[in-house]
Structure 1
Amino acid sequence: MIFSNEAQFMASSGDFSCKILDLSLNGALLTLPEGYVPLKNDPASLNFYLPGSDIKITMEVEVRHVEEGHLGVHCRQIDLDSVTHLKRLIELNLADEDILYRELEQLTHEED
């Protein structure tokens, strides 16, 4: 799901602000956080609030790829409440349920 939301990316090297550009239950495409030096398979946490609510989503992720100012992360773990809210958000924004389970490589970033 094309998504634009501020997020916190917490890696072993520090906490960074970023923007989520695309999102699925399997991972996310982020703007590359300023000052973060990515390492493939680097574990991190991704936290964000659902738009217009106080519902916080927390995903345990790992870095999968970096290119052109974007960071692709794979979701390794997500708590039940977060996955329930995230799945509902994605379902409300999509006509095709199969898109929920896209692999990370299928996440896209469309230029404005």
Structure 2
Amino acid sequence: MTTNTAYSATAPDRTEIDALQAPTVVEFGANWCGYCQAAQAPIAAAFARHPGVRHIRIEDGKGRKLGRSFGVKLWPTLIFLNEGREVARLVRPVEAKAIAEALARIDTEA
């Protein structure tokens, strides 16, 4: 399966994110961001062992309400949610191991 690495310009409302019951990772970044591009390989490697976790990529930046509601300041920022609540957060991850450890905290099927 090919992983979509593009960040979506349209974001759901915070209430929609908070209502998610399934394990979910919300990734904030920008398509042109070098840190975001460099993180894609370790993110993909970690997610390969957690296919049941929903992964939402959201373009962040000035005036983007969803990122501000989570206090995002650097990209990429990964927010790990279980039943709509933040369980873990990684900022500028560089290793698949740290991502996999955070995924294990929300993925009960793994």
| Greater helix fraction, Structure 1 or Structure 2 | 2
TM-score (norm 2): 0.31
Larger fraction in strand: 1
Indicate the structure whose relative CO is greater, using CA pairs within 8 Å and at least 6 residues apart: 2
> Structure 1-normalised TM-score?
0.30
